[in-house]
Amino acid sequence: MATVCGDGRRRYGSLVLVDELRATVGSDHVFDGAGTSHVVDWTGRFVGATDLVVRPGSLDEVRRVLAIARAHGRAVVPQGGNTGLVGGSVPLHGEIVLSSARLNEVGVPDVDARRIVVEAGATLEAVQVAAASVGLRYPVDFGARASATIGGTIATNAGGVNVLRYGTTRAQVLGLEAVLADGSIVSTMAGLMKDNTGYDLRGLLCGSEGTLGVITRAVLRLVPAHVSVTTVLVGCESVSDAMSVVGRVGRASDTVDAAELMSRRGVSLTSEVTGVGAPFDAAWYVLVESSVGEEQGDTLARLLSGRSQVAVAESPARRRALWRLRDEHTPSIATLGTPLKYDVTLPLASLPRFVDEVGEAVTSVAPTAETIVFGHAADGNLHVNVLGAREERAIDETVLTTVGAYRGSISAEHGVGAAKREWLHLTRSAEEIAAMRAIKRALDPEGILNPHVLLP
Ligand code: FAD
Ligand code: MLT
Ligand code: ZN
């Protein structure tokens, strides 16, 4: 497919293809990916190549770009903010990158109906700001909010820090519009609260990682902005102790939005990188946040009475500082190198044992490697980042088979992408993988939509 042209650069497409794409989206919006951020993922671990990055500016242009790609037998990787962490958003096999960057409209929030219509390329932060402007909140939130797009968060069914109370992205999507591989359009943009007319195509496209359709718009649920927020950092002796805190606050109050686990190493590293001080030293930390629409009493303080290390954020600035200790874990870890990243879910009761076991398992394979564990403890979702290990596949195997032994999931919220596809069998049965293949074959028979991710 690739030919080397006079200028020595590889050209994947024929010039006819480039001309057709330019005639469709405009010359400025078709360019060579070489040397751009479009071909390397956020971690730097997945580096692809393409001479075709295309930025359609409308639903119809997305349809026509897919038709052209199909006519030329070319695969397409839909790309939003390119903050994905499993290698699913970059052209690892010379695919055309279809960027949603120009599809970034954010509608006016409908206050009464508590919803907002947005285009796929709108960032998470832009939607949060629009919601806040009318006293509402879009409840999906995580550190990459400034770059991650709504289309990407739907395609990966992103989780974030508020899943405990509001669910994952799938729970926020009231409707969506997408273009399938054959150019047909799926649209549930009426965003009806109840609509039981056949298969849930909206639910199917959530988490499909760009393999079943290109998401172009969505209707998202909004919730009341928090009027009164209590943010508390709790020091714990062990993961078991931390999980007892998570259980206590999670069970006792339905106003808890978040309960995030961090280790001494993760907090001290993030504190060092960001300059944000931790209020105390502990082996493990739980960052708990609860919010209500009206003034709330001292719910969390009462639930956590009797503990020796409890720091309540007395001001919005202090709340933001505590959250920076959590939000900036990923960029801080990245200052030490490119980690092997595992995003796993465990049954809550197994979590403490898993943390011990996975650390030992990594050390048995790579004695000098460092393992940093943190994550969304309330959801049983841990992020295991392994630094300084060369034995990549052996570490993959030991971490993910340990997860499988606990009947956990090899991917809690980031998706499968390219990184985890060969391990999918540890969480999905052969029959389930066959069913997913059948759906993929039915909706994308020519395999033009992100064909190298998700399915082994
Ligand atoms: P991209 O990276 O561009 O793409 C991701 C996947 O979605 C790819 O398979 C791509 O093909 C597909 N895709 C993108 N746009 C579309 C579209 N319009 N239609 C169809 N498919 C599309 N994730 C979490 O879930 N929880 C977290 O807490 C979290 N924290 C993070 C913190 C940091 C610092 C970073 C860097 C990442 C974090 N992530 C987290 C991972 C990442 O931000 C999410 O996976 C996010 O949903 C990706 O959005 P994106 O727009 O960057 O998508
Ligand atoms: C997070 O919760 O910070 C993210 O999912 C990122 C990560 O796993 O590194
Ligand atoms: Zn996460």
Q: What are phi and psi of 29, to 5 degrees?
A: -110, 20
Q: How far does the centroid of ligand 2 lie from the alpha carbon of residue 176, in Å?
A: 26
Q: How far does the centroid of ligand 3 lie from the alpha carbon of residue 383, in Å?
A: 7
Under DSSP, the state recorded for 373 is E
What does each of the 456 residues of the chain score in pLDDT, given as a tens digit?
444 444 444 444 578 999 999 999 999 999 999 999 999 999 999 999 999 999 999 999 999 999 999 999 999 999 999 999 999 999 999 999 999 999 999 999 999 999 999 999 999 999 999 999 999 999 999 999 999 999 999 999 999 999 999 999 999 999 999 999 999 999 999 988 888 899 999 999 999 999 999 999 999 999 999 888 999 999 999 999 999 999 998 877 788 999 999 999 999 999 999 999 999 999 999 999 998 765 555 778 778 888 999 999 989 999 999 999 999 999 999 999 999 999 999 999 999 999 999 999 999 999 999 999 999 999 999 999 999 999 999 999 999 999 999 999 999 999 999 999 999 999 999 999 999 999 999 999 999 999 999 999
Residue among 77, 83, 274 to mutate when testing ligand 1 (max atoms within 8 A of CB): 83
* Residue 155 near ligand 1, beta carbon < 6 Å: yes
Ligand that comes closest to the CA of residue 413: 1
pLDDT attached to residue 293:
64
pLDDT attached to residue 251:
76
* Residue 77 near ligand 1, beta carbon < 6 Å: yes
pLDDT attached to residue 362:
97
Q: How far does the centroid of ligand 2 lie from the alpha carbon of residue 145, in Å?
A: 12
Ligand that comes closest to the CA of residue 327: 2
CA angle in degrees (0–180, nearest 5) for 168-339-322: 55
Which atom of ligand 2 is found nearest the CA of 161? 2
Q: Which two tokens stand for residue 51?
A: 């001479």
Query: Distance between terminal CA atoms of the chain?
Result: 23
Q: How far does the centroid of ligand 2 lie from the alpha carbon of residue 375, in Å?
A: 7
Nearest CA to ligand 2 atom 8: 383
pLDDT attached to residue 13:
54
* Residue 84 near ligand 2, beta carbon < 6 Å: no
For residues 165 and 259, what is the distance between their CA atoms, to the nearest angstrom? 10
Residue among 145, 147, 325, 343 to mutate when testing ligand 2 (max atoms within 8 A of CB): 343
Ligand that comes closest to the CA of residue 140: 1
User: What are the structural domains of the chain?
Assistant: 2-101 (3.30.43.10), 115-224 (3.30.465.10), 228-328 (3.30.70.2190), 336-433 (3.30.70.2740)
Closest CA to 331 of 377, 270, 265: 270
Give the residues across from 370 on adjacent strands: 387
**SS3 of the chain: helix, strand, coil, percent, to 5:** 35, 25, 40
Residue 193's Cβ-count burial label (10 Å; 0-12, 13-18, 19+) is exposed
For residues 151 and 433, what is the distance between their CA atoms, to the nearest angstrom? 24
pTM for this predicted structure: 0.95
Nearest CA to ligand 2 atom 2: 375
pLDDT attached to residue 295:
58
